[in-house]
Amino acid sequence: MLKINNEWRKKMQLKVDYNNMMADFVGIEQGFTDKDFSKNKTLIANAYKEVCANRGLGMMGWTELPYNQNEIVLDILKTAKDIKKKFDNFVVLGIGGSALGPIAAFQALCHLRHNELPKSKRKAPKLYVEDNVDPERMKALLDVIDLDKTIFNVVTKSGATSETMAQYLIIMNLLKEKYGDKAKEHMIATTSESKGNLIKIAKQEGLKTFYIPDGVGGRFSELCPVGLLPAAVVGIDIKAMLDGAKYMDKICKQKDIKKNPALLTAFLEYLAMQNGKNISVMMPYADSLKYIADWYCQLWGESLGKAVDNQGNEVFVGQTPVKALGVTDQHSQVQLYREGPFDKVITLIAVENYRNTVMISEGCKDIPDVSFLSGHTMNELINTERKATEYALTTAHRLNYTITLPEVNAFTIGQLLYMFEMETAFAGAMLNINTFNQPGVEGGKNATYALFGKKGYEQTKQEMDNAPKKDPKYFC
């Protein structure tokens, strides 16, 4: 458990350095000036007002999660304790927003090889998140888990997602074959209390159930039971995570854009989009944050990629999110970021203090090109390389900014997740779109139902049957 007090919270506050978004640093052709801020004063003020006015309402129920979950947290902690006693594996069945948050928090806040550690060191069940319906992945999971020691958590807000329900059917069938009436002891359901099929199934089967609040969409659900239960099971301090979110929420309530990192970065990305920067690269310099970039990609892509604005006009807006990893992708992507088209904003995530320090050993004394590394730490190396990449991007006039985490812990991760959620809400308001729907995702879901012959989707099936057939001349 983290010992949290106000002084420590302040020390752990995230910082945004946006120097390299400004003309003074990247040049007047690419960069922004104070004039851009003053010219867009009304746009910024309106976006701020809209987000504040909608807090806790409609699909913005997620703004209340840091405040309204005391009882739920107690239930989660109690359930997690029981799970730890009885089981060695905790498997999340779910996809998209039901999977990416749990993966991101696990990677960020547990040992990087948690599942490979011996039980005595792990002190918590292994975590698996089945974010797909790849048959090989399902078979591989079943090859490594012992059902007797495994509990599953089926997570779907709509209670109807084909991928998740397919996973559920496979697993529940296995459990029933093996345990009969006791199958329910190996399955938890996390879903909407009021809508969908899973809640009905959970009641019929007598499953332990956690609820996803109505106003919390999949990609905004990491800080509700969707993310909190798996996190608690693997030993993450979920109270500290929520405390971090609350701390960031207070910061994001500030009207002054220069004091509100979410409003600020939303505006900078908005300006970039207006200037044809249609790609947003998220590049953490930490393996622990690798899947935060994945989670961000869904949040940013699904929320802002919209065909119409709030008045129904066609706008086709959005920014393609791209995940990268520092320093790994310096040897893969940075060539493109530095010399390719001027169509990107690159967000670097820095970590001031890593949880481990590794010295680079002495050696190869007669080869100066190698021996210069000796005596330094890997910590120095990774941070130096980040600064070097920042410099290289900036001198090539590439828009970039850096978010710094003093360290990676439950409190700073709570801040980071919440800041990205608020940033997304502000950016959506600036773009005048519905940030919280996903008609494009529904399109794919509905087409799958139709192809599988689901009742009620006959018309979609008919339309698909009538679509032009593929022409063999375009196969190679």
Cα–Cα distance measured from residue 368 to residue 354, given in angstroms and rounded to the nearest whole number = 28
Residue 376's nearest CA partner among 361, 355, 356, 354 is 361
Is 31 or 217 the residue whose CB approaches ligand PA5 more closely? 217
Q: Which is nearer to ligand PA5, 412 or 435 (CB)?
A: 435
Cα 24 from chain centre = 32
Task: Provide the minimum distance between the beta carbon of 221 and ligand PA5 in the complex, in angstroms, as a whole number.
Answer: 7
Give CB contacts under 8 A, 24+ apart, made by 312-317. 315/431, 315/432, 315/433, 317/273, 317/431, 317/433
CB count within 10 Å of CB 444 equals 11
Least Å distance between CB 125 and ligand PA5?
23
Pick the catalytic residue from 208, 253, 397, 445. Answer: 445
Out of 331, 469, 470, 473, the active site residue is 331
Please, what is the minimum distance in Å from the beta carbon of residue 441 to ligand PA5? 5
CB nearer to ligand PA5: give 40 or 438.
Answer: 438
Does residue 397 have an active-site annotation?
no
Residue nearer to ligand PA5 on the CB measure, 302 or 421 = 302
- Give the number of other CB atoms < 10 A from CB of residue 194: 9
Alpha-carbon dihedral sign for residues 304, 305, 310, 315: positive
- Nearer of residues 131 and 249 to ligand PA5, judged by Cβ: 131
| Residue 217 beta carbon to ligand PA5: minimum distance, rounded to whole angstroms | 4
| Catalytic hit among 130, 163, 269, 302 | 302
CB-nearer residue toward ligand PA5: 156 or 288? 156
Kindly report the CA angle at 284 between 278 and 289, in degrees rounded to 5? 120
Give least dist CB 149 to ligand PA5, A. 26
* Binding positions for ligand PA5, rule: CB under 6 A: 95-98, 156-158, 161, 164, 217-219, 302, 438, 441
* For ligand PA5, the closer CB: 18 or 106: 106
Least Å distance, CB 298 to ligand PA5, is 6
CA 310 to chain centre: 25
The residue number with the shortest CB distance to ligand PA5 is: 218
Q: Cβ 64 to ligand PA5, closest distance in Å?
A: 18
Catalytic residue flag (residue 331):
yes
As measured in angstroms, the least distance from the Cβ of 63 to ligand PA5 is: 16
Nearer to ligand PA5, 131 or 243 (CB): 131
| Residue 93 or 350 with smaller CB distance to ligand PA5 | 93
Least spacing, CB of residue 292 vs ligand PA5, in Å? 16
Enumerate the active-site residues.
Answer: 302, 331, 445
